[in-house]
Amino acid sequence: MKSLKELEEIRNKALAQIDIRKKGEGTRIVVGMATCGIAAGARPVLTAFVEEVAKRNLSYVTVTQTGCIGACRLEPIVEGYTPGAEKVTYVKVNPDMVSRIVAEHIVNGKPVTEHTIGYNEEKKN
């Protein structure tokens, strides 16, 4: 940082990100980080989402964590919330799946169905 103007730009960018969270607008990616999720590998999944969103500069996307989602056998679980669309629940997520989920679902609005809870439950029957 070399000038007051640069500091002002950083401030404005941070305020814009905070404003998105306050309004509840934008897309939210929520990773289950209870002990069952962490044991199944949720920490690297969370890190991969944070890095992918930052790499693509997706300022409208917030990556957060939550406790137990309630389906421990399907961990790591990731839920995607997009305004105006149904929640999508991804199961058995690993870091290698993250870039595809972000590209296809978050950026292009088409959930990666073969990694969703509905698809995985149908395959069992």
Average pLDDT, the chain: 87
Does the structure show a pLDDT above 60 at 23?
Answer: no
In a domain, 18, yes or no: no
Number of domains in the chain: 1
Q: Which of 66, 61, 54, 56 is nearest to 30 (CA)?
A: 66
pTM, entire model: 0.77
Mean per-residue pLDDT, 41-70: 94
- Containing domain of residue 46, as a range? 25-124
% of the chain with per-residue pLDDT over 70: 86
Could you tell me if residue 66 is inside a domain? yes
Per-residue burial over 77-107, b if 16 or more Cβ lie within 10 Å, else e, is: bbbbbbeeeeebbbbbbebebbeebbeebbe
pLDDT class of 11 with cuts at 50, 70, 90: confident
Residue 13 lies in a domain: no
Task: Confirm whether 19 is domain-assigned.
Answer: no
How confident is the model over 19-30, as a mean pLDDT?
A: 68
Asked if residue 6 belongs to a domain, the reply is: no
Chain segment 81-123, per-residue pLDDT in tens: 998 899 999 999 999 999 999 999 999 999 999 999 876 555 5
**Does 62 map to a domain?**
yes
**Residue 43, domain member (yes or no):** yes
Q: Would residue 29 count as lying in a domain?
A: yes
Name the DSSP class of 93: -
Looking at residue 9, its pLDDT comes to: 87
Structure tokens at 27: 């897309």
Here the CATH number for the domain that contains residue 52 is: 3.40.30.10
What pLDDT, on a 0 to 100 scale, did the predictor assign at position 22? Answer: 47
